[in-house]
Structure 1
Amino acid sequence: MHIRVATVDDAPELLAIYAPYVEGTAITAEYEVPTEDEFRGRIAHTLERYPYLVAVSDESDLAGVDSQGRILGYSYVSPLNTRAAYDQSVETSIYVSRDARGRGVGRALHDRLVKILTSMNVTNMCACISATQAQDDPYLTDASIRFHERMGYRMVGRFDGCQNKFGRWYDMVWMERVIARHVIPAPKFKPFPTIKSIA
């Protein structure tokens, strides 16, 4: 597996990964699957300022699940808030193909984001995560919360019943990982297009 920067031409594959999350889970708050054109626009808009990465299979596996060059997952960041004082803080998003979960794809994408964001002078990585209080919810588990805990995030807030999907109310939690010291003066934010390497 290797990590590269996404392109707008990846939209069909990324949408195939994302659609099941929209249609069958409360992980995303979207009700409708975006069109390919809309998804291309999202990728292009993100890359104007922030990283958008894909994890790609390097070779076929014995079970025939992977083929070389297949996208296994993707990640990107967006502004935590669009006002200038929040430049050093971002919101992270990671989606992994359902048949590629448990194979380190999410961790690989996240670890690469940390390196890139550090070089961009980002200090805070934040994750907005849907949460349920039901132990047997058919649309949501706490897997994303557990993943972020393993990535070094801590819980910083919870909003009660602020999302409604599939006729159910869901909470939303904020988790945060601080990846750089908060110094004065703050180092200037560097937009992703100015970064020379994603290694």
Structure 2
Amino acid sequence: MRKYTRLAREEAKGSCAAVIRPARLNDAETLLGIYGPYVRNTAISFEYKVPGAEEFQKRMGKIVQKYPFLVVEEDKNIIGYAYASPFHEREAYGWSVETSIYVKQGFHGYGHGKRLYRELERILQKQHYLNMYACLAFTDQEDEYLTNASKSFHECLGFRTVGRFSRCGYKFGRWYDMIWMEKMIGVHGKLPDVVLPPQAELSNDNGGAHCM
């Protein structure tokens, strides 16, 4: 996979506690270990069945042709990942992306998700994308399968709710809503800049590593 992130290593004693880097195809099984519990135990993902490693690799391979796919490591162990994907296939939507993020259970609340998203946004801006969208499961009555923490997380990062679909997702014998959240990350001029491919984004001299 391409190098997406620039070197932003802080001057500090010892090694970095956590590092953001581009995902690799051979990370697929580890990422599935993070994603799987969201599928099996929550309504955060509307998938019913955890995909296999081969299918997950195919998804990753398709995404990185145009979009960043990042992981965050702590002591060389992956504890979360985030990526962008097409908002819509039609050409006129070409400056918009959908974003997704998953943090390993037990590692929430330490700022890893926010740092991942900020780095993702920085890269997308460099590529000349203008709009970020997040599609989130939502409920008026939180339960053991779904809270609205994701909505609050995105609001903290500058997203706003722009749409809601009622009872459109069925999982665990219950109906859940879906909301779209939006963040503008660029200027919408009369003639937008051409979106750059991932390899044209500024890479660094240290394998894409970004210390947190």
Q: State the TM-score bracket (shorter-chain normalisation).
A: over 0.9
**CA distance in structure 1 between the aligned counterparts of 2:198 and 2:159, rounded to whole angstroms:** 23
How far is 1:94 from its partner?
Answer: 0.3
1:100 matches 2:117: no
CA distance in 1, matches of 2:96, 2:198: 14
Q: Who is 1:112 aligned against?
A: 119
Question: In structure 2, what is the equivalent of residue 72 of structure 1?
Answer: 79
* Paired position in structure 2 for 1:22: 39
2:150 aligned with 1:144? yes
Matched letter for residue 45 of structure 1: K
Count of residue pairs brought into register by the alignment: 188
CA displacement 1:32-76 (0-9 Å, x = unmatched): 00001111111111111111000011xxxxxxxxxx210010001
Report the Cα offset of residue 99 of structure 1.
1.4
Alignment of 1:187 onto 2:193: yes
User: What is the identity, as a one-letter code, of the residue corresponding to 1:38?
Assistant: E
Unaligned runs of at least 5 residues, structure 1: 58-67
Percent sequence identity over matched residues?
Answer: 46
Deviations 1:4-31 (A, max 9, x none): 1001100011000000000000001100
AA of the residue aligned to 1:163: G
Aligned 8 A contact 1:152 1:177 in 2: yes
Task: Give RMSD over aligned pairs.
Answer: 1.0
Q: Give the match for residue 56 of structure 1.
A: 73
Unmatched 5+ stretches in structure 2: 1-17
Output one character per residue of 1:85-120: Cα deviation in whole Å (capped at 9) or x when no partner.
111100000000011111111001100011100001
* Aligned residue type for 1:26: A
Higher relative contact order (CA 8 A, sep 6+): 2
Q: Aligned-pair distance for 1:194?
A: 2.3
The alpha carbon displacement at 1:163 in A equals 0.5
Q: Which residue pairs with 1:88 in the alignment?
A: 95
Match of 1:125 in 2: 132
Residue identity matched to 2:115: A
TM-score, length-scaled by structure 1? 0.92
Q: Is the 8 A contact 1:128 1:175 kept in 2?
A: yes
Give the TM-score of the pair, scaled to structure 2. 0.87
